[in-house]
Structure formats: C-alpha cells, structure tokens
Amino acid sequence: AAFSFKLRGAYNMMAKLSQEQLNNGVICSSAGNHAQGVALSAQRLGCHAVIVMPVTTPENKWRSVEKLGATVVLKGDSYDEAQSYAKLLCEEEGLTFIPPFDHPDIIAGQGTVGMEIVRQLQGPLHAIFVPVGGGGLIAGIAAYVKRVCPEVKIIGVEPSDANAMALSLFHGQRVMLEHIGGFADGVAVKVVGKETFPLCQDFVDGIVLVSQDAICASIKDMFEENRNILEPSGALALAGAEAYCKYYGLKGETVVAISSGANMNFDTLRLVTELPDVGRKPEAVLPTFSPKEQGSFKEFAELVSRMNITEFKHIYDSHGKEALVLHRT
Ligand SMILES: *Cc1c(COP(=O)(O)O)cnc(C)c1O
C-alpha cells in the first residue's frame, strides 16, 4: 500500500497515457507520498518510473519507493533542485512528467475522495475539512462536492507556518512563500498550483490555520480513539476541524475531516508524543540557574507550586558555581 491518497491522482493521470508514453516511462520528483503513488501506479500499469528525490531523503523513504519497482535517483539538496533535475531528465529521455498536484487529471483523481464522502452521507453535512499543500486534493474535492451538494462547506487546513493557500486566496493571486515549516512535510509547499488555485478561489469556503502543537494533539486523539497513527499532514484536517468547531461553538453538526496519510517517520514520533500536552494545556519550558546546594530544587518547586513540573533536566556546569536547570512546568 502507499499509505496516502496520492495514488488516486497519479493513477488517474497515468491510466490515461498512451501505450507509447507508457512504454517510454514516467518521472516525478518527490520526497514522500507522491513518489509512492507514482511508483505503485507504474507497477500496476507495467511501466517504468524514475523518481528523483533530494539527497537528504531518509534511506527508509527511498528504499520503500525502490521496493515498489521504481528507479530512485538522489539529486539536489532540496525539493526544488530535485524537481529541476527531473524536468531536465524528462526532456532528455522522453519520459512523461507526473506532477504532484498541478494537473487536471491529478485533481480529478484526488476528487474521488469527495465522491466517496458524498456516497456515504446519511444526513446533512456541515463541512468537509481538507489538508492543503499544493491544493490538488482540495480542488478536486471542492469541484465535485460543490456540484452535487453546494450547501456543504469546504474548508482547507494549513499549518500556520506553511500557509501558501490562505495567503494566495487573501491576495487574489498565487503568493510564493520564502520560508516554510517542514513539520507537516506532505503539505510543505511554497506556492500553490496554477490549475488548483482558480478552483479553490471558486469553490473553497475558507482556510483554517493550525499550530504544530495542535497537529500533535490530533495525532494523539486519533491514536487513542482508533489506534491509528497519522503522519502530521494526515492529522492536519482533524486539528482544523477541532479548532473550527470550537471557534464557532458547533454542536450536533456532522463534519468530515480527511485523514490524508499515514507515512509517519518513526523518528518524528518522539517529537509528536512530547508536544500534544503543549497543545492542550499551558505547558512551558523554564530555563533557570539553580545554586548547587541541597534543597534548591525544592525551593524552585515551591516557587512554582501552582504548576505541575512534568520534566526536569539538569545540565551540570563543572566550572561555574551554578548549574543550568530546565524545568518544564
Ligand atoms: C500531498 C498530501 C497532502 C496535500 O495534498 P495537495 O494536493 O498537495 O494539497 C495532504 N496530506 C498528505 C498526507 C499528502 O501526502
């Protein structure tokens, strides 16, 4: 399995290629889920796939793509460099480029998620929350759902440090972000698509921005309720739905949040398990200097007695008279 919806768009586009194009093979650049979607589609369609990934891609990620039968080329320090190289190779070798979001066939493939939601509906639906990267998933879902159920709101969700769609909708044109947060790597996109943006302008009702802590809290909720582990981008919509329902005081309405992916990097899990409490309770890290004397921690604990201390880290300085102590309260 590919553990995300990306297979839908990639397969839809690739299934429409001519036999000659399939014989020549396909190429894409991706550091993650799109690579798996293209590799799996190529395997099913019996065509050759070249996947260009940045040299910084963790080994487990590129190995899993290689296992699906694709040829992995590690090139460039960033996604942008990998993409430029993929486009170059595609011209030189006559391969067909499969973009991650910005193509009508990709958008339509991702839109099948909307079709499935509408088919499973058993009563009125207030809103569908959709994670947004380049906008392929939300454009496809919105275009379909607004045609058949125009009363259902389509709300995008972005991390507050990767908010290209929110800014672009606000300014009425595609805005290029200079820096983006990479925690939710599936949606870390600097500029939304040429094809996806006008569809979002027409059909998307709004965008909710959420913090990294809120995403971690939603990963935890999903784990506790269903024993499923979502990757950060996969839990984004859930975090957005929760924030939205709380903000508008919604009660008794039905909403859908799309859990879009489960390709959790195992090393990221540790960070995720530490942050959800920050997302829910006021928790803070307090760096302080404590004298190296007996009873100084007790004194500190008494000073902050209204708060619980959840973690205590002692960094011992052998030269100075004091020790730096981190109290998490
Ligand atoms: C790609 C991806 C998204 C965002 O999809 P776009 O079509 O780029 O907006 C969301 N979640 C996951 C898990 C993804 O892999």
- Is there a domain that residue 168 lies in? yes
84-120 pLDDT, tens digit each: 999 999 889 999 999 999 999 999 999 999 999 999 9
Instruction: Note whether 26 and 48 are same-domain residues.
Output: yes
Q: 265 to each of 58, 160, 233, how far by Cα in Å?
A: 9, 21, 12
Instruction: Note whether 92 and 111 are same-domain residues.
Output: no
218-271 pLDDT, tens digit each: 999 999 999 999 999 999 999 999 999 999 999 999 999 999 999 988 888 888
- Is there a domain that residue 256 lies in? yes
Question: At 134, phi and psi to the nearest 5?
Answer: -80, -10
Please give the positions annotated as active site: 6, 260
Domain enclosing residue 36, as ranges: 6-100
Instruction: Note whether 194 and 318 are same-domain residues.
Output: no
Residue with tokens 């070249």: 50
- Is there a domain that residue 1 lies in? no
The answer to whether 287 and 300 are in contact (CB under 8 A) is no
Position 318 scores a pLDDT of 58
- State if residue 36 touches ligand 1 by the CB under 6 angstroms criterion: no
- State if residue 133 touches ligand 1 by the CB under 6 angstroms criterion: yes
CA of 71 to the centre of ligand 1 (A): 23
Please give the biggest Cα pair distance in the chain.
79
15-28 pLDDT, tens digit each: 999 999 999 999 99
Rounded-to-integer distance, Cα 291 and Cα 280, Å: 33
Rounded-to-integer distance, Cα 262 and Cα 121, Å: 24
Instruction: Note whether 323 and 293 are same-domain residues.
Output: yes
Rounded-to-integer distance, Cα 246 and Cα 132, Å: 21
Position 306 scores a pLDDT of 66
Which atom of ligand 1 is nearest to 134's Cα? Answer: 8
- State if residue 159 touches ligand 1 by the CB under 6 angstroms criterion: no
The answer to whether 188 and 134 are in contact (CB under 8 A) is no
Which atom of ligand 1 is nearest to 130's Cα? Answer: 10
- State if residue 37 touches ligand 1 by the CB under 6 angstroms criterion: no
53-82 pLDDT, tens digit each: 999 888 888 898 999 999 999 999 888 899
Binning pLDDT at 50, 70 and 90, where does residue 329 land?
very low
- Is there a domain that residue 264 lies in? yes
Instruction: Note whether 72 and 163 are same-domain residues.
Output: no
CA of 132 to the centre of ligand 1 (A): 6
3-state secondary structure of 307: coil
Share of the chain above pLDDT 70, in %: 89
Residue 282: pLDDT over 50: yes
How many structural domains is the chain composed of? 3
Last residue of a domain, one of 53, 75, 100: 100
Instruction: Note whether 265 and 130 are same-domain residues.
Output: yes
Instruction: Note whether 288 and 271 are same-domain residues.
Output: no
Here the CATH number for the domain that contains residue 55 is 3.40.50.1100
What sign does the CA torsion over 62, 214, 159, 287 have? negative
